[in-house]
């Protein structure tokens, strides 16, 4: 058996630097430290000492006594890899994969040891099986709806998973002595208790939910000593009138074993202590992995709508099926949440400090005075961050981590002693982080993740109850409700006297005190009431047990009075702008920001609004909902996409003046026609970065873009551009772009660095939009009449998008003449509507088009450009099929998109047209005929490629870069241009007659022998002419030198090499 010790490591990675010794034999290799000890306890001690003194990227630990290997890293969602020879004897898929990485270890593959994708996928699949089975049991035993039963099952599973993690923290023990693992705890409950469900209810709703240390009896002699947790997770919920404490579950012991058996195969890691696992090992589970699984679950639940549990199955890929339809979902990769959070929180902090230089946070801590650092701490303490579509809390968790990192580093520099991570996290959760989501399940999971994040830093001996955070993370509709709007009536509320009595009974000892609360409530105005709620919420956050329950009842009572009055006045306000009934209004589940987050909105809103809002326009909002948002709430969103609604709502209503705002939304927002109004809107604000996220979400085809803005009406033209490298899971900066477009025009985010030089030249030319052209789509609603074969003489040929390639008709379909719109039956240029994205040899696009001189009918998946006095179809076809225009469209018009690129008028009209193109129409028409003939007949591919790549591409480089050629003296004004030299050899071919015969042959199965001979004769003559022209051009020294000079230009190389 291989020993993965120093000898092995050096054989795989090379010799280590032996100058570093700590404290005995320790070997440092660049960013990796090797440690060898006799026991795991000694290894843990060494790792702790090293981390106190330095922050290595990796620590490779080897324990001689067990021949086990433990690898840790300082970053990523999973930071521990364990190899135990005994465990690895069980050949699970996880074990086999990691063994393969170990045996083939390289510097580039070391992170694969920590990769948990297989764990994620398997556990996501298993959880669905558990949810569905438990949901059916709850439904059948309690007569609940399928939806509620599934959510009830999820609540139980939430608590079970949380318990595994707190066992991992050693917060539970047996008989007050040895800590117990989750595996042993639940195995004991199943095997030793007559009614496992009753025991679980006792554990959840009494032991974890009641104050003080509790004992859970297991069998006749043993007990499990537990801790009071609370925080809302373990309070029983009411489901369709039934308390969770009263739910009936009649699982047999075998069924309970089936539930826990898959959960028992994992190591539940809540901090970075190295652990062993024995048995059938499936991998590590961390709060981060569970968070991603829950994020997918939340998205899936949104898509499911009404549920029938019998319809739910799991596909071979591990995804949920409803019937035969896959309910796809995704999660946000950590590097995305990290980038967005870092690049919003740090700029906001530095902005408030008046720091304009671009500086890393570590450099800031080391360079600035203690006074500035103290000021920074004060800003971070007060910073409010909100995700208005928080889902499972991915962005809030990451924001919390960054705030914690910043505060810890400053405290360390200032040598502050109050650096307890648990209390720092607790403060951040209560005072800095806020979230809203319309899905109850999403909010529950968001809170669960935050509690797990908090509990990971708890000290076993000083464990404190979890804070109550349901007033930071609230169920509601972020798009509907009172935020910054001025309401037309005064808000006056009279509260019930019993509420005052309840408050007085609490004996509140605080500088505000009961008298001030009573005075505020007797003012009978919303602002005074909301201030009381804010004050009581703060006390409630830290309260426990009965006091917490009383406070919650009081807060809910006051909030009910306020909401009733605000609902009335807010409804009147929006109803005056368009008809809406109160039932429809209530169904929106309005969320009144100014009530629930009164203190924050009294200060103007949140410092930072951040997140990944829902997106889509089909099936996301109903026609009625869109009408209400547009008319009653006066939010214009031409796209119909809910992401645009969230964007405008977030920036207008939620973030304070000079606050920071960052969302990830569909990438088409920066270039698509329907998003033009949003771009015009954005250009009123201070946009400071874009990041091209590409296909940011696994299994989601849509591409995304990240915006970073400041809520101030000041346009910024110098915008930093980033992109996400999916293969490396990092964000990289590309530089700064100057946004020279205006209004609704696209953001050309790739017109930077060397691209900027070319863009600056090309934008001087007129565009296709400046010419008298008409561009449209082929006829729609016609495919149902389409025929693959000609059935009648009256049936006419038609072209689909897939029937066309460059300079070639691949295929023809047919259509009854009666269904045809006659405007299409004229000469035109036809291009595939859907633009092809090609990855190799480098990412680029390619237009597919032909000149239709005969007037063939075409359908909706093609774009049509009609002939005009100023535009020659043949010249335009060559232009649009050229490399320079493909490069222009890919880099600028479509901003390097991969999908959703359509050749419609909006995009085609952005194409720059070289000056005096019409002067060369005759020459270009001849070459176009060559290419149409050669590609259609496939008689000589080599000559076709020569004219397309060597001649046409170079001719257009010459036309577009004429100014640069003269400026750089590539050749002199007195020299003949390449176009002139080539034209000396061009000869016309008999294209029109050949095309007529060729199409006639395609359309008629009874093509005459006479016409066949004629077609062959013309084809032969045409080919001979083209070959002769080709040879003459190839052997003309002046032409070849000219081509070489043009192609030696750095701009041309950039386009040709796809740099």
608-627 per-position pLDDT tens digit: 999 999 888 776 788 888 88
781 within 8 A of 713, measured Cβ to Cβ? no
CA torsion through residues 408, 410, 413, 419, sign: negative
Instruction: Please state whether beta strands 173-174 and 222-226 pair in parallel, antiparallel, or not at all (unpaired).
Output: antiparallel
At residue 21, the pLDDT reads: 37
Mean pLDDT score of the chain, rounded to an integer?
Answer: 87
Place of tokens 């298993």: 126
In which band, very low, low, confident or very high, does the pLDDT at 500 lie, cut at 50, 70 and 90?
A: confident
Residue with tokens 């099926």: 321
* pLDDT for res 27: 44
Summarize the confidence of residues 368-377 as an average pLDDT.
96
Cα-based distances in Å from 821 to 199, 790, 1057: 74, 19, 43
Q: Are 46 and 36 in contact (CB under 8 A)?
A: no
Which residues contact residue 823 at a Cβ distance below 8 angstroms, ignoring those fewer than 6 apart? none
- Phi/psi of residue 266, nearest 5 degrees: -120, 155
Q: What is the pLDDT of residue 327?
A: 62
Go through the chain and tell me how many residues it has: 1059
The pairing of strands 704-710 and 718-725 is unpaired
Are the CB atoms for 431 and 381 separated by under 8 Å?
A: yes
Instruction: Say yes or no to pLDDT of 180 above 50.
Output: yes
Mean pLDDT of 865-885: 90
For the chain, percent of residues with pLDDT exceeding 90: 46
Return the pLDDT at 90.
67
The mean per-residue pLDDT over the stretch 63-84 comes to 84
pLDDT for 87 beyond 90: no
Predicted local distance difference test score (pLDDT) of residue 508: 65
What is the band of 370 on the pLDDT scale with cuts at 50, 70, 90? Answer: very high
Residues 549/531, Cβ–Cβ less than 8 Å: no
Answer whether 688's CB lies under 8 Å from 708's CB: yes
Indicate if the pLDDT at residue 589 is higher than 80: yes
pLDDT for residue 460 is more than 70 = no
The pLDDT-based confidence of 293 (bands split at 50, 70, 90) is confident
Q: Who wins on pLDDT, 987 or 695?
A: 987
Give the mean model confidence (pLDDT) for residues 792-797.
80
The conformational region for residue 393 under phi > 0 = left, psi -120 to 50 = alpha, else beta, is left
User: What is the C-alpha separation between 953 and 936, in angstroms, rounded?
Assistant: 20
Q: How many CA atoms lie within 13 A of 232 on its CB side?
A: 21
pLDDT value at position 184?
92
- The CA distance from 698 to 677, in Å, is 29
Residue 699's pLDDT band (cuts 50, 70, 90)? low
Question: Quick one: pLDDT at residue 197?
Answer: 96
Q: Any idea which residue has 């060597």 for tokens?
A: 950
Residue 12 vs residue 522, higher pLDDT: 12
Give the pLDDT mean for 518-534.
Answer: 76
Q: To 5 degrees, how large is the angle CA 460–CA 201–CA 307?
A: 115
φ, ψ for residue 80, nearest 5 deg: -135, 135
With cut-offs at 50, 70 and 90, classify the pLDDT of residue 91: low
Please tell me the predicted confidence (pLDDT) of residue 22. 36
Q: Identify which has the larger pLDDT, 482 or 521.
A: 482
- Condensed to tens digits (0 to 9), the pLDDT of residues 120-167 reads 888 888 998 999 999 999 999 999 999 899 999 999 999 999 999 988
Q: Is 271 helix (H, G, I), strand (E, B) or coil?
A: coil
Tokens 């595994």 sit at which residue? 164
Give me the sign of the Cα torsion angle 580, 586, 589, 590.
Answer: positive
- DSSP for 330-393 reads ----HHHHHHHHHHHHHHHHHHHHT--S---HHHHHHHS-HHHHHHHHHHHHH--EEETT-TT-
Helical spans, DSSP H, in 174-236 = 182-192, 196-202
| Band of pLDDT at residue 690, cut at 50, 70 and 90 | very high
The yes-or-no verdict on residue 820 having pLDDT over 80 is no
Q: State how far the Cα of 80 lies from the Cα of 94, in Å rounded to an integer.
A: 15
CB 762 within 8 A of CB 960: yes
Task: Take residue 61 and report the two structure tokens written for it.
Answer: 């630990």
Cα–Cα distance for residue pair 542/466, rounded to 1 Å: 8
> At residue 23, does pLDDT exceed 50?
no
pTM of the prediction? 0.88
* CA–CA distance, 434 with 469 (Å, rounded to integer): 9
Q: What is the pLDDT of residues 932-984, one digit of tens each?
A: 999 999 888 999 999 999 999 999 999 999 988 888 887 766 678 999 999 99
- State how far the alpha carbon of 1058 is from the alpha carbons of 114, 603, 756, in Å: 34, 50, 15
pLDDT (tens digit per residue) in 899-909: 878 999 999 99
Nearest CA among 65, 57, 27, 61 for reference residue 47: 61
Please check the confidence at residue 785 and state whether its pLDDT lies above 70.
yes
pLDDT higher than 90, residue 212 = no
CB–CB of 869/936 below 8 Å?
no
Q: Give the model's confidence band at 553: pLDDT under 50 very low, under 70 low, under 90 confident, else very high.
A: confident
By the 8 A CB rule, do 594 and 530 touch? yes
Looking at residue 97, its pLDDT comes to 84
């Amino acid at each position: 058996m291989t020993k993965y010790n120093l000898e092995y490591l050096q054989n795989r990675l090379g010799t280590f630097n032996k100058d570093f010794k700590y404290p005995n034999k320790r070997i440092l290799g660049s960013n990796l430290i090797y440690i060898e000890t006799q026991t795991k306890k000694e290894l843990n001690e060494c790792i702790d000492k090293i981390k106190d003194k330095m922050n290595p990227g990796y620590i490779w630990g080897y324990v001689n006594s067990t021949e086990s290997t433990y690898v840790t890293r300082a970053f990523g969602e999973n930071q521990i890899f364990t190899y135990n020879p005994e465990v690895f004897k069980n050949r699970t898929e996880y074990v086999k994969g990691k063994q393969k990485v170990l045996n083939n270890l390289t510097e580039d593959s070391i992170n694969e040891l920590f990769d948990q994708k297989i764990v994620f996928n398997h556990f996501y699949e298993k959880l669905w099986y558990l949810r569905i089975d438990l949901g059916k049991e709850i439904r059948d035993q309690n007569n609940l709806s399928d939806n509620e039963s599934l959510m009830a099952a999820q609540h139980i599973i939430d608590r079970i998973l949380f318990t595994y993690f707190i066992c991992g923290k050693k917060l539970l023990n047996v008989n007050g002595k040895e800590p117990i693992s989750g595996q042993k705890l639940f195995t004991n409950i199943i095997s030793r208790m007559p009614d496992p469900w009753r025991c679980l209810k006792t554990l959840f709703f009494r032991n974890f939910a009641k104050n003080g240390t509790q004992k859970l009896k297991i069998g006749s002699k043993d007990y499990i000593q537990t801790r009071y947790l609370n925080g809302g997770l373990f309070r029983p919920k009411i489901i369709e009138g039934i308390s969770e404490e009263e739910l009936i579950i009649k699982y047999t012991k075998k069924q309970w074993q089936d539930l826990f058996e898959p959960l028992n195969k994992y190591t539940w890691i809540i901090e970075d202590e190295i652990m062993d696992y024995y048995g059938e090992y499936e991998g590590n589970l961390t709060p981060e992995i569970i968070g991603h699984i829950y994020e997918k679950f939340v998205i899936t639940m949104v898509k499911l709508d009404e549920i029938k549990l019998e319809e739910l199955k799991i596909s071979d890929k591990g995804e949920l099926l409803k019937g035969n339809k896959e309910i796809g979902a995704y999660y946000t990769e950590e590097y995305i949440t990290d980038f967005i959070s870092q690049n919003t929180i740090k700029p906001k902090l530095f902005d408030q400090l008046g720091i304009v230089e671009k500086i890393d946070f570590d450099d800031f801590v080391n360079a600035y005075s203690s006074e500035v650092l103290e000021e920074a701490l004060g800003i971070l303490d007060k910073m409010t961050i909100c995700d208005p579509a928080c889902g499972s809390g991915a962005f809030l968790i990451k924001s919390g981590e960054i705030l914690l990192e910043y505060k810890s580093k400053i405290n360390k520099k200032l040598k502050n002693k109050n650096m307890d991570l648990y209390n720092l996290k607790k403060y951040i959760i209560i005072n800095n982080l806020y979230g809203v989501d319309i899905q109850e399940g999403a909010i529950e999971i968001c809170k669960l993740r935050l509690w797990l994040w908090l509990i990971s830093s708890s000290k076993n001996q000083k464990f404190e109850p979890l804070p109550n955070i349901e007033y930071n993370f609230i169920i509601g509709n972020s798009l509907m409700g009172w935020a910054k709007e001025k309401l037309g009536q005064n808000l006056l509320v009279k509260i019930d006297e019993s509420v005052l009595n309840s408050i007085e009974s609490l004996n509140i000892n605080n500088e505000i005190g009961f008298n001030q609360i009573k005075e505020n409530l007797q003012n009978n105005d919303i602002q005074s009431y909301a201030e009381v709620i804010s004050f009581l919420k703060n006390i409630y956050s830290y309260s426990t047990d009965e006091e917490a329950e009383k406070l919650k009842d009081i807060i809910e009572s006051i909030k009910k009075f306020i909401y009733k009055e605000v609902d009335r006045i807010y409804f009147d306000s929006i109803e005056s702008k368009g008809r809406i009934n109160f039932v429809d209004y209530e169904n929106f589940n309005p969320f009144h920001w100014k009530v629930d987050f009164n203190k924050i909105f009294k200060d103007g809103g949140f410092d930072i609004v951040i997140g990944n809002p829902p997106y889509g326009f089909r099936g996301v909002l109903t026609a009625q909902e869109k009408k209400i948002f547009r008319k009653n709430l006066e939010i214009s969103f031409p796209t119909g996409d809910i992401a645009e609604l969230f964007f405008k709502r977030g920036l207008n209503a939620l973030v304070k003046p000079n606050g920071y705002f960052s969302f990830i939304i569909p990438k088409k927002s920066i270039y698509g026609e329907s998003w033009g109004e949003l771009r015009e809107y954005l250009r009123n604000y201070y946009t400071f970065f874009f990041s091209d996220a590409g296909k940011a979400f696994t299994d989601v085809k849509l591409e995304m873009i990240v915006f970073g803005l400041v809520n101030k009406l000041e346009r910024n033209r110098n915008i930093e551009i980033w992109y996400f490298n999916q293969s490396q899971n990092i964000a990289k900066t590309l530089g700064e772009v100057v946004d020279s477009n205006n209004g609704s025009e696209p953001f050309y985010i790739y017109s930077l660095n060397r691209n900027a030089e070319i863009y600056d030249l090309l934008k001087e030319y007129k565009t296709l939009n400046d010419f008298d052209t008409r561009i449209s789509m082929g006829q729609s609603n016609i495919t149902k009449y389409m025929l693959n074969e000609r059935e009648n003489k009256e049936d006419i040929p038609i072209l689909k998008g897939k029937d066309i390639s460059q300079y070639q008709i691949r295929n023809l379909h047919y259509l009854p003449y009666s269904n045809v719109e006659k405007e299409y039956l004229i000469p035109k240029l036809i291009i595939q509507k859907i633009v092809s994205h090609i990855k190799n040899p480098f990412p680029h696009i390619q237009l597919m088009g032909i000149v239709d001189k005969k007037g063939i009918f075409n359908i909706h998946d093609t774009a049509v450009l009609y002939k005009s006095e100023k535009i020659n179809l043949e010249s335009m076809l060559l232009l649009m099929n050229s490399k320079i225009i493909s490069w222009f469209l890919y880099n600028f018009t479509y901003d390097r998109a991969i999908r959703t690129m359509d050749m419609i008028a909006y995009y085609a009209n952005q194409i720059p047209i070289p000056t005096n193109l019409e002067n060369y129409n005759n020459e270009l028409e001849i070459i176009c005929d060559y290419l149409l003939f050669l590609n259609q007949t496939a008689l000589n591919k080599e000559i076709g490629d020569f004219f397309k790549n060597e001649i046409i591409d170079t001719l257009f480089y010459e036309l577009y870069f004429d100014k640069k050629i003269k400026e750089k003296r590539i050749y002199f004004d007195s020299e003949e241009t390449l176009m002139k030299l080539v034209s000396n050899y061009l000869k016309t071919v008999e294209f029109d007659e050949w095309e007529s015969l060729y199409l006639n042959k395609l359309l008629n199965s009874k093509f005459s022998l006479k016409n066949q001979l004629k077609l062959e004769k013309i084809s032969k003559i045409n080919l001979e002419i083209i070959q002769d022209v080709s040879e003459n051009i190839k052997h003309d020294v002046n032409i070849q030198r000219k081509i070489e000079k043009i192609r030696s230009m750095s701009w041309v190389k950039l386009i040709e090499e796809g740099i």
